[in-house]
Structure 1
Amino acid sequence: MSKAPQQYPNNLTSAEYRELAVGSGIHPDLISLNYIHLEGDVPYSYLFISPDVPRKNAGRVREGFLKQYRHVEAGGWWVSGLDPQNNWEPMEWGRFKSAAPRFNYDKQKGQQTEKLVKYESPPKTPNRVTYHRMSLGLWQLVSQRYNVPMPDNIIACDDGHAIGFWAWVQRHPQIPIILCEGEKKAAALLSRGFVAIGLPGIWGGRVGNKNCNETLHPDLVPMATGGRKFIILFDYETKLKTRWHIYQAIIRTGRTIQALKCDVEVACLPGPEKGIDDWIVALQNADDSKKLSELEKAAKVSQLVTALIQDALSLSDYMLLQRPRHR
């Protein structure tokens, strides 16, 4: 008798689930609560949420605009979280990672580039940030790590979502928050009891521009109270031009946090792994980890990530010590 194929949550494909669970070390609870598979025409209803998307009188999206997004019909995974501006209700905005990504289009040059657009955000809509739904078990990990008691009578939904996690974090400014470049990286940290928020890119933590009213992103403002510490943890990079952009984004994001009288530190990955999720997975798979039990591996990774966070630089030290020498 043939073995029935394994079923993954939310219709995720085997490749998608492996990417999240194995490739990024994300806890199964976070995957089942936040990541879903979309394909066919369905991604359009998730992406085309803006009233400014060009449509015909009958309401259909105009063909020229639709053509840019035909690739999403091949399928991919979608992630969206909770809305800090709407009492932590589900957020309509999210991001889609297509199985068949398109190439980026350079508007200035009027031509297609060789760079793939890995993640699609809803077009003609301001970017948001991602606050993942959390399970009770992961909430307990966070509570233990920061020695902050959990509230009584937490309501857990049938799907495992423990209601009130982010409101609890909001009420306790002694809990530091890590800002990550991307949802998977935030999820990898949340999986290990670190509070992390996913930004849609290095510039996604602030709004405005350098010369005119640059402020912290409205989605992050509710957390910027009581002198809370924020740790900015972006990707490791070797290209000088990209390093300069990261450096500038960290400084400008950090200053918007400081403007709200909160502390800012910058954690730096040692490389060569690009993201914190890549680094965590590399630690788990290192030669000296192979003889360890799963519990021992988890303890080792937790210890090393904790050390990385504890070694974070103040914003002023980061500006002095990490400035790229050439652009």
Structure 2
Amino acid sequence: MTPKTETQINYFREWTNSCVDDQLIHLNVIPLEGQRPYEFLFYSDAIPRRNDGRVTSQILKRYRHIEEGGWWCSGIDLLTGEEDLWGCFKPSQPRHSYDQKKLIKYEHPPKTPTSLFALKIPLHLWHQIASRYQIEILPEDINNNQPDFGFWQWFIAHPQIPLCITEGAKKTGALLTGGYVAIALPGIFGGYRVIRDEYGNRIGRSNLIPQLEKLVNNHREIYIAFDQDTKPKTIKNVNAAIRQTGYLLTRKGCNVKVISWNPELGKGVDDLIANHGQSVFDEAYQNALPLELWKAKSFSQLTYPVNIRVNSRYLSEQHILGSISSNNLQKLDNLDLAYSTDFPAKLVGIKSAKGTGKTKLLEKIVSEAVARSQKVLVIGHRVQLVQELCQRFGLKYITEVDKKSDNKLLGIGLCIDSLHPNSQASFNPENWSNGVVIIDEIEQVIWHGLNSNTCRQNRVEILRSFKTLMQNVLGGV
């Protein structure tokens, strides 16, 4: 028996560390060294070549590092049912990008469109998946002449089975091992393509790649399980990819859900399973949010860097005024949101712990607004919290307002449930165009408006009023 090389040992350990089934690894992943990686990567006719057919020296120099070895992964071409030429190679010694700012960890076949990873499934995992969804595998479903034994054709024929979409081949391997049907994209934006002209200008609508469209065209339930990152720029990109991919999937009639977990438990889904066990992912899967609710929740997540961090026992007005440049809208990781015409910015977000003086700071802002006859509106999601704030600010809660004199009041407090014309407040956003709006615990307020049962009957009117209110007080910013 030929002894295994270090490359062979390392690749298998890397995949098993991601909790991927041994047989699944053997079906889809192979170690490559020397000249062999070129055979898997350089199959496109569009690659620059010399007259004798040899790849140009410039290209060979760029890819010289692959000769040091690594692993290759590819699965099934869903459009043909055959082995997929496309895949990825993870070199043991990766190269740097042109600007030298990052390592290129994975190499895909150059000059050819990207696809997705639909891995070959061993029969025992196929039975595990069928058992999870209580579907019988018939003898005619298994085709020994197909490289995947007919699994993906069987899956396409059963639209009642959900599909998980993740990024990266190892992660889809971990999900398949756990009994979930999953495919992987080569990148978060890899599920769709934007039609552009030769100059890079967009000339058409975005569309799902054909391989993905073939899996979802029967109104299938889709679960998106991308990495949980902590970098603001990465979060912004991931959220954008989920929104666009999710939109295109819903256009095909799919019910899209988004799986999230605490990044401290692991960045990727394979890390989550490896660090904390399959049951933790199962729980995250069960708690996946419908796309629209996820979009509402992600709206309040930090996507821009904080303008200023304060290491102080109490907040002061100088902390706010001195931190924000003129006419600059800041989206901060916020718990409280305040607007004032005296502030250099029209929208200010504050995040700080209890007992650091947020409410005391707002007392001063309200007092100054009332002194100059400027209206103040306090919005919350719980009656008791808003009542307590009104007491601190010297304002009336909506239930204390006399209908005959409400127009003369310079300030009131109410819950977002009352933010519509048919409520006790008879709310009209046009009355607050030059007002100060304080939203206490804005993340919970927005979530409450979008999701709570108490807002269900008037949700459309509430959201319409809220949108108009913010447009008016922010002056279209």
Smaller-chain TM-score bracket: 0.7 to 0.9
What is the Cα-based RMSD across aligned positions, in Å?
2.1
Aligned to 1:19: 14
| 2:296 is equivalent to residue 320 of structure 1 | yes
Higher normalized contact order (CA 8 Å, seq sep 6+, divided by chain length): 1
Gaps of 5+ in 2: 196-201, 305-477
Residues 1:7 and 1:64: Cα distance change in structure 2 (over 3 Å): closer
Counterparts in 2 of 1:197-236, with a 5 A limit? 197-208=183-194, 212-236=204-228
Aligned to 1:268: 260
TM-score by length of 1: 0.86
Residue among 295, 298, 305 paired with 2:281: 305
Residues 1:180 and 1:81: Cα distance change in structure 2 (over 3 Å): same
Superposition deviation, residue 305 in structure 1: 2.1
CA contact (8 A) 2:257 2:291 kept: yes
Residues 1:312 and 1:80: Cα distance change in structure 2 (over 3 Å): same
Aligned to 2:88: 95
Amino acid across the alignment from 1:20: W
Aligned to 2:28: 34
CA contact (8 A) 1:41 1:73 kept: yes
The residue matched to 1:220 in structure 2 has which SS? helix
CA contact (8 A) 2:246 2:256 kept: yes
Superposition deviation, residue 228 in structure 1: 0.4
Which of structures 1 and 2 has the bigger CA Rg?
Answer: 2
Amino acid across the alignment from 2:272: W
Amino acid across the alignment from 1:308: A
Superposition deviation, residue 14 in structure 1: 1.2
Superposition deviation, residue 7 in structure 1: 4.8
Aligned to 1:289: none
Superposition deviation, residue 306 in structure 1: 2.1
Aligned to 2:473: none
**Distance of 1:255 and 1:212 partners within structure 2:** 16
The residue matched to 1:187 in structure 2 has which SS? helix
| 2:106 is equivalent to residue 119 of structure 1 | yes
**Distance of 1:139 and 1:6 partners within structure 2:** 32
Aligned to 1:256: 248
**Distance of 1:65 and 1:59 partners within structure 2:** 13
TM-score by length of 2: 0.59
**Cα deviation code 1:170-210 (max 9, x no counterpart):** 00110000001111000000011100001101001111168
**Distance of 2:61 and 2:188 partners within structure 1:** 28
Residue among 64, 69, 74 paired with 2:68: 74
Amino acid across the alignment from 2:270: D
CA contact (8 A) 1:136 1:156 kept: no
| 2:231 is equivalent to residue 239 of structure 1 | yes
Superposition deviation, residue 154 in structure 1: 5.2
Amino acid across the alignment from 2:43: I
**Distance of 1:250 and 1:162 partners within structure 2:** 29
CA contact (8 A) 1:77 1:98 kept: yes
Gaps of 5+ in 1: 106-111, 285-300
Amino acid across the alignment from 2:57: E
CA contact (8 A) 1:33 1:161 kept: no
| 2:159 is equivalent to residue 173 of structure 1 | yes
Aligned to 1:279: 272
Equivalent pairs counted in the alignment come to: 296
The residue matched to 2:97 in structure 1 has which SS? strand
Amino-acid identity (%): 38
Residues 1:162 and 1:129: Cα distance change in structure 2 (over 3 Å): closer
**Distance of 1:211 and 1:180 partners within structure 2:** 28
Amino acid across the alignment from 2:92: A
Amino acid across the alignment from 1:15: N
The residue matched to 1:213 in structure 2 has which SS? coil
Amino acid across the alignment from 2:89: F
The residue matched to 2:238 in structure 1 has which SS? helix
CA contact (8 A) 1:180 1:232 kept: yes
Residues 1:5 and 1:54: Cα distance change in structure 2 (over 3 Å): closer
Residues 1:274 and 1:211: Cα distance change in structure 2 (over 3 Å): farther
CA contact (8 A) 2:230 2:263 kept: no
**Distance of 2:237 and 2:100 partners within structure 1:** 19
Superposition deviation, residue 6 in structure 1: 6.8
Structure whose residues are more often strand by fraction: 1
